[in-house]
Amino acid sequence: MIEFYWPSSAGEWLAWTSAAITIFFGFLLLLAPRLSYRIMRITTVPEHPEAVSEGRATMAGFYLGVGLSAILFAQPLLYMALGAGWAFTAFGRLVSIVLDRGNTPFNWVSIACEAALAAAPLAFVFGLV
C-alpha cells in the first residue's frame, strides 16, 4: 500500500514547501491563465487564442508535473530537479535583465522569489539544512 510521506526534518519541509508553492502556481496557471498572465505582465491578443493554452499546457503542466512528483515520491533527485528548474528560471530572468534591458522592480522581486524557491530544495538535497 502506498502511503503519503510527510517531511520529517526542517530541510525536507523547505523542499516540500517549494514543491507546494510550485503546485499552487501550476493550478493557478491551469485554472486562471488570464489572471496569471496579468500577474506576470503578459498580454495575449484575440487573434491568437492558442496563447492562453500555453499557460494551461506548457507552463501549468510543467509546474504541476514536477511539483506533484516531488511531493508524492519525496526523492532527493526530484527535489534537485525542482531546485534546478527554479535556479535556471532565476538565471533566465537575470539574463533578460542584462540583455533585454528588463531592469525593473518586478523582475528583481521575481528573481528573489525564484532564488528562494530554488534554494529551499537544493539546500535540503546538498545537506545544508
3-state DSSP assignment of residue 124: helix
What residue spans define the domains of the chain?
10-125
pTM over 0.75: yes
> Tens digits of per-residue pLDDT, 46-71?
888 888 888 889 899 999 999 999 99
b/e map 80-99, b = 16+ CB within 10 Å: bbbbebbbebbeebbeebee
Say what the pLDDT of residue 78 is.
97
b/e map 54-68, b = 16+ CB within 10 Å: bbeeebbeebbebbb
Given a cut of 70, whether residue 1 has pLDDT beyond it is no
Cα–Cα dist 56/68, whole Å? 16
